[in-house]
A and B are shown apart, each in its own frame.
Chain A
Amino acid sequence: METQINTQPACEFAPWEDPVQKPFVRFENVTKKFGDFTAIEDLTLNIYEREFFALLGPSGCGKTTMMRMLAGFEYPTAGNIMLSQSNLHKAPPHKRPVNMMFQSYALFPHMTVEQNIGFGLKQEKTPKKEIKRRVEEMLSLVQLEPFTKRKPHQLSGGQKQRVALARSLAKKPRLLLLDEPLGALDRKLREQTQFELMSIQEQLGLTFVIVTHDQEEAMTVASRIAVMDHGKIVQVATPAEIYEYPNSRYSADFLGDVNIIEGQLDVTTGKTASLAWAEGETPLAISTKLRPPAGTTAWLAVRPEKLHISKEKPASADNCIKGEVWDIGYTGNISTFHVKASNGSILKVQVSNREHLADRPITWEDNVYVYWEKGAGVFLER
């Protein structure tokens, strides 16, 4: 990995950095085609034991397809999927130590909540008493105790989702696949369930793979995130790494808000590259170890909260852009200034609202300076 960040203590769980560790799940050059359509393209990915791994990507990029291949509902067109070092080949779903929570829930309509949750345990011939205990445990986890005897069609969307979650968790599988498990829950319940999931996963030492559209959720729960695009993986890294050091415009844009400034590489001196981004403006300085030749097109990505804004020209700043306030977005704790630069591009600057709204000195059509340190931006080659 190119960057070394120290946001986490040294003893942190990071098996992917340990060359001795063998991956628990391994996709090996996996391609999946549906007719002519390639859903997954030559994808290689390692997931380690006890990881909480998140798949992130736009709709239709192949997240569910990857899960279905792991669960055994689909088989790769080419390549191999390994589970604890052994090739899964065409093992059928019921022979895999994998459980999946379906995006569509797939609750059994003729069974009660209780029977749905206990279904997997019953297949294993678990004693009745034990089933009852585990079902109760799961019910309390998803806070559905009053609904034990209901049928799925008597439940709300969020309640169904929780039953589906409980059902997939009941067997405590070594690998649990969660396809958008919390999408239908309200914020409070969602956050609560996220932490419950994390503590279960940690306590039992299970491996979870989760699909989510909620990047905040991914950042909260995941040990690592894979950012996907059209059946390919763009970046796999910890949430902090992806946020601070995205490897491409795509993953910078996917996780959080970002300003991306396109330019031509001017010169690279020492650890600093300078990027000519607009006629008549000072080139922008970016810290980087990369040394692409001068003249190539490159991008600077910088998060809005890392920019500063003021009406007076800052005495010293690595980068400073003069512009005009175009718009102000107010979202309670944060104000977002949209500043129009000389070349017409818009920069977003986020300032936390420590002062009262009325005291805010910067307003529409003010001429302002936007400035930041060279270490705050990321140099992107694609």
Chain B
Amino acid sequence: MAVTDIASPPEEIQEPSGLSSGWGRRLFIAIPYIWLLVFFLAPFVIVLKISLSDVILARPPYFPNFDISEGWQGFLAMLRVFDLENYVWLAEDSLYLNSYLSSLRIASISTLLTLAIGYPIAYAMAKAPKEWRATLLMLVILPFWTSFLIRVYAWIGILKKEGFLNYFLLWTGIIDEPLMILNTDTAIYIGIVYSYLPFMVLPLYAVLEKLNISLLEAATDLGCSPLKAFWVITLPLSLPGVWAGCFLVFIPAVGEFVIPDILGGSSTIMIGKTLWVEFFSNRDWPVASAVAILLLLMLTLPIILFQKQQEKQAEASQ
């Protein structure tokens, strides 16, 4: 998942004596870099390579392949075959552009919805009596104890035409005929908001809980009504949490595949789904890899913003 990409190596390492100089220390600092190299950079290079290759009917289904026995000459030969054909293809077929845009749209809307629902929850948790907070926090994390896939499947049972939701709404008399929610964008929004809510609530809770109550007292003392005090004190001071929560929801939501696949309709195109189809149905690994690379490039901007935000926050809290 994209979130792991942002784990940057610790900038300052407390020097334990003995490691303070020479190899020991260098090795110590190198660990996070080695981690990134092995688990992020190497796969990235492989995917990049495939995206520059051509599709063939073989196993693996792309060409050229690098044969170590051919040595340097073989490597150069491989480089010569590389081209940007797949990227040109992506640019020419509007399907891909549409899936990227649609993914961004769906991710943005769901992020805002998650924020709108998550903020009051986090606020109520932070305002709850101290002895309750640990329990409430547990309840937020609790869904993670069951499989994500199963939880998303469960929503089918709730949202489908003869599902619990329609059953309940018909029973209360709010609606006369069942709502068609499953297999629409609405179902995707519900699924994403539900699945990613904890990622929004936790950073928000962290900042709101830290908020010094005497700041609000000072504001009301100086003539601010409690509502206005929320607006001018609580909200601005919780912005770091808002940013963190939004990025944590937005970044994975853009590439989301499971939720649109299970809850969304056939008319909803999202980039994750497109990628899956290219990969498994069309067995066009090079195009699928090109889609993945573009997705990654598209996400680097929000990831960099997120990084910057985190740094700023760390600076301010010093």
Contact = CB atoms under 8 A, between A and B. Distances in A.
Whether A associates with B in a native complex is yes
A71 B218 CA distance: 10
Interface in B276-318: 316, 318
A34 to B, nearest CB: 15
B217 to A, nearest CB: 5
Interface stretch (A43-51, A100-108, A279-287): A100-108
A93 interface: yes
A104 B212 CA distance: 10
A120 interface: yes
Contact of A104 (B214, B220, B224): B214
A167 B218 CA distance: 10
B237 interface: yes
B236 A106 contact: no
A73 B217 contact: yes
B31 interface: no
B215 interface: yes
Contact of B217 (A98, A106, A123): A106
Interface in B212-251: 212, 214-215, 217-226, 228, 233, 236-237
A123 B218 contact: no
A60 interface: no
B220 to A, nearest CB: 4
Among A71, A93, A109, A120, max chain B CB count under 10 A is at A93
A172 interface: no
B221 A109 contact: no
Contact of B222 (A73, A109, A110, A119): A119
B212 A94 contact: no
B232 to A, nearest CB: 8
A124 B226 CA distance: 15
Interface residues of A, number: 23
Given A108-B233, A109-B237, A110-B236, A123 B214 contact: no
Interface in A136-178: 153, 167, 171
Interface string A227-246: 00000000000000000000
A58 interface: no
Contacts of A94: 220-226
A281 to B, nearest CB: 56
Interface in B242-288: none
A100 B219 CA distance: 10
A108 B220 contact: no
A106 B212 contact: yes
Nearest to A153: B316
Among A92, A94, A107, A124, max chain B CB count under 10 A is at A94
A100 B224 contact: no
Contacts of B217: 71, 73, 93, 102, 106
A99 interface: yes
Secondary structure of the B contact surface, majority rule: helix
Contacts of B214: 102, 104, 106
B218 A171 contact: no
B238 to A, nearest CB: 10
Contacts of B223: 94, 120, 123-124, 171
Interface string A61-105: 000000000011100000000000000000011100011101010
B221 A110 contact: no
Given A124-B223, A171-B223, A106 B237 contact: no
Interface in B185-226: 212, 214-215, 217-226
Given A73-B217, A153-B316, A123 B222 contact: yes
Contacts of A92: 220, 226
Contacts of B233: 108
A134 to B, nearest CB: 13
A71 B316 contact: no
Contacts of A124: 223
Given A106-B212, A153-B316, A93 B236 contact: no
A119 B237 contact: no
A72 B225 CA distance: 13
A171 B233 CA distance: 19
A108 B218 contact: yes
Among B219, B220, B222, max chain A CB count under 10 A is at B222
A123 B237 CA distance: 19
A108 B215 contact: yes
Nearest to B224: A123
Contacts of A120: 222-223
B237 A110 contact: yes
29 contacts: A71-B217, A72-B220, A72-B221, A73-B217, A73-B221, A93-B220, A94-B221, A94-B223, A94-B224, A94-B225, A94-B226, A99-B222, A100-B221, A102-B214, A104-B212, A106-B212, A106-B214, A106-B218, A108-B218, A109-B237, A109-B316, A110-B236, A119-B222, A120-B223, A123-B224, A123-B228, A153-B316, A153-B318, A167-B218
Given A94-B220, A94-B226, A108-B233, 19 more contacts: A73-B217, A92-B220, A93-B220, A93-B221, A94-B223, A94-B224, A98-B221, A102-B217, A102-B218, A104-B212, A106-B212, A106-B215, A106-B218, A107-B218, A109-B215, A109-B316, A123-B224, A124-B223, A153-B318
Interface of A: 71-73, 92-94, 98-100, 102, 104, 106-110, 119-120, 123-124, 153, 167, 171
The 10 A-B pairs with the shortest beta carbon distances in the complex, nearest first, are: A120-B222, A123-B223, A106-B218, A106-B214, A93-B220, A94-B220, A93-B221, A110-B236, A94-B223, A123-B224
